[in-house]
Amino acid sequence: MGETQMKNIEADVVVIGAGGAGIPAALSAVENGAESVIVLEKRKTVGGNAVFANGIFACESLIQRRAMIDAPKDEIYKKAMAWHRYSSRINPRILRAYINKSGDTISWLMKRGIEFEIGAQWRLNYHQNPCWHVIKGHTPLGRFAPVVKSLTDECREKGVQILLETTGEKVLRGSEGEVVGVIAVQDGQKFEIKTKSVIITTGGFMGNKELLNKFFPFYDESFGGLVVPHEGDGIQLAAEAGGALDDVATLVREHGLTFTKDHSLGQAARQPNAIWVNKKGQRFLDEASAEQSQICSNAIIRQPGKVAYAVYDEQMIEEVMEKGWFLPHAPIRPIPSDLKEILQNEVANGGEVKISDNWDEIARWIGAEPNVLKATITEYNSFCDHGYDEDFVKERRFLAPLCKAPYYVIKFGVLLIETIGPVRINHNMEIIDKNDDPIPGLYAAGVLSGGWLSDDYCGEYLFGSALSYSVNSGRIAGENASLYIKEK
Ligand SMILES: Cc1cc2nc3c(=O)[nH]c(=O)nc-3n(C[C@H](O)[C@H](O)[C@H](O)COP(=O)(O)OP(=O)(O)OC[C@H]3O[C@@H](n4cnc5c(N)ncnc54)[C@H](O)[C@@H]3O)c2cc1C
């Protein structure tokens, strides 16, 4: 980009970050009257983490209505608020604005020819089975990457300029505090874009250890992360422009096999009939609660070294190979017929799996006292014999003794999916300052902004909400930004 060209850049709205929130924000801004929109994207391609996603949460959508799925927004909102216990981290208006918009967003996508997969399992009433498979229910054909492509193509057709490999570096404010421009960097060259409105949508900060340590007191560098490790640029962009930050953000996490080479083994740790022990060789939870992965990651975080070991006997492994993985709410049980081979390969390749007939050897591998591990197994087997888990009341149907050697042990830990927050906004997606007053012309959307989740991801009622919130908040920010410039 040449010097002269740089001086002339001007736009009604500048969006910083072309991912799950940024692309919908740009499109909404144009749809709602912004005449010129520029999107800055730091990487070579658009999409951010949104290209990896499967589906999005929505309620009262056309798809749900057609499939006779009862997913009332008022009730889901109230349940989600109760789930979050009116946490001080939650702004109920933000959650409400997002949930209210979600059904309309499905129509907004369908108008663009996007089709959604909907199977027989969706035809349940969520009152009978309030599980995420039912409530989420909106998986575009081909998952989300084609959606990103389609919305990006439309942006370009409508004249949105998408500048790739261009980093948004600073938001400029005028004498009355209003947004007046953005400093961006391309090919090492800085340039200014004059604008009245900026939407920051730079995603999370999983790639920034300093920020992870700062915003999560329990963060540990042993946690594994997924895919695109964003650096959290938007936090500094917002803070430098006067935006307030929450002290703590939300870490969306699961338990997962962060230590084995074959991540397809992730499901192994979730089998309710296995037992989980910590480094001391002690059980620490009802393993059948593993379906709710956030709960399990919380339990693992409390263990020494923040790791856990799933233990199976030969019979359990054979049962999985015969009947498939147990997935509580899924209609099918995928069968990993080569499971034993996968586990043996892990051992051969130095992965974090142990197979042995000998509990002393297993205990030494874990780092536990052999007597402690053996006592755990003996006690658990006696619970199975009596049909009652005295320690954690695991459901009787999942109580199976570990008695047929060899025993299989898989080490696993916490897997980070996404960070949420800590930029403070209001329900119009305006970034607010320390006095809770909006900064004129400055918006944030997507996972950079908090206030719609408390400490944990509300998987029960809003599964698929990281991306769903991003798309919906992006749309709301785009609408409000164009309204703002019309009024200016
Ligand atoms: C493997 C995987 C699967 C997932 N599956 C699901 C799912 O099924 N359902 C669901 O709801 N969620 C899912 N998520 C989470 C979801 O994809 C994200 O939460 C969502 O994409 C966040 O949207 P965003 O716009 O905030 O950030 P992103 O989509 O990550 O986009 C941020 C963009 O900003 C750019 N950027 C950063 N800094 C700058 C800067 N300074 N200047 C310019 N550009 C910048 C980045 O390069 C990136 O393109 C998944 C995530 C992963 C990793």
The structure tokens listed for 100 are 């209210």
20 alpha carbon – ligand 1 mean position (Å): 6
142 alpha carbon – ligand 1 mean position (Å): 18
Q: Is 203 in the pocket of ligand 1 (CB under 6 A)?
A: yes
Q: Is 417 in the pocket of ligand 1 (CB under 6 A)?
A: yes
Atom of ligand 1 nearest to the CA of 226: 53
Atom of ligand 1 nearest to the CA of 469: 11
Residues contacting residue 361 through CB under 8 Å, at least 6 positions apart: 354
| pLDDT value of residue 4 | 37
SS3 content of the chain, % helix, strand, coil (to 5): 40, 20, 40
Atom of ligand 1 nearest to the CA of 167: 42
Q: Which amino acid makes up residue 116?
A: F
Q: How far apart are CA 97 and CA 445, in angstroms?
A: 13
Q: Is 330 in the pocket of ligand 1 (CB under 6 A)?
A: no
Q: Is 481 in the pocket of ligand 1 (CB under 6 A)?
A: no
The CATH number for 253-416, chosen from 3.40.630.30, 3.40.50.1370, 3.90.700.10, 3.40.50.1010, is 3.90.700.10
Q: How far apart are CA 216 and CA 344, in angstroms?
A: 36
| pLDDT value of residue 128 | 41
419 alpha carbon – ligand 1 mean position (Å): 10
Q: What value does the CA radius of gyration of the chain take, rounded to a whole number of Å?
A: 25
| pLDDT value of residue 118 | 60
Helix (H), strand (E), coil (C) string for 47-93: CHHHHHCCCCCCCCCHHHHHCCCCCCHHHHHHHHHHHCCCCCCCCHH
**Within a 10 A sphere around the Cβ of 78, how many other Cβ atoms?**
13
Provide block-wise average pLDDT over 10 residues at a time, the chain (488 residues): 60 98 98 98 96 88 84 91 86 96 96 77 41 63 92 98 98 98 96 98 94 90 74 97 94 64 66 93 90 72 92 93 72 72 89 94 98 98 98 95 96 86 98 98 97 78 83 98 94
| pLDDT value of residue 130 | 43
Residues spanned by CATH 3.50.50.60 within the chain? 3-249+421-487
462 alpha carbon – ligand 1 mean position (Å): 17
Task: Identify the sign of the CA torsion 295, 298, 302, 303.
Answer: positive
Atom of ligand 1 nearest to the CA of 143: 8
Q: Contact, 48 vs 142, CB < 8 A? A: no
Q: How far apart are CA 139 and CA 334, in angstroms?
A: 19
| 286 backbone dihedrals φ, ψ, rounded to 5° | -80, 110
Q: Is 416 in the pocket of ligand 1 (CB under 6 A)?
A: no
| pLDDT value of residue 199 | 99
The structure tokens listed for 224 are 């594994």
Instruction: Classify each residue of 244-278 as buried b or exposed e, where b means 16 or more C-beta atoms within 10 Å of its C-beta.
Output: bbbebbbbbbbbbbbbbeeeebbbbbbbbbbbbbb
Q: How far apart are CA 25 and CA 201, in angstroms?
A: 9
Q: Contact, 15 vs 136, CB < 8 A? A: no
268 alpha carbon – ligand 1 mean position (Å): 27
| pLDDT value of residue 488 | 82
420 alpha carbon – ligand 1 mean position (Å): 11
At the fourth CATH level, the homologous superfamily of domain 3-249+421-487 is: FAD/NAD(P)-binding domain (3.50.50.60)
Beta bridge pairs of residue 414 = 255
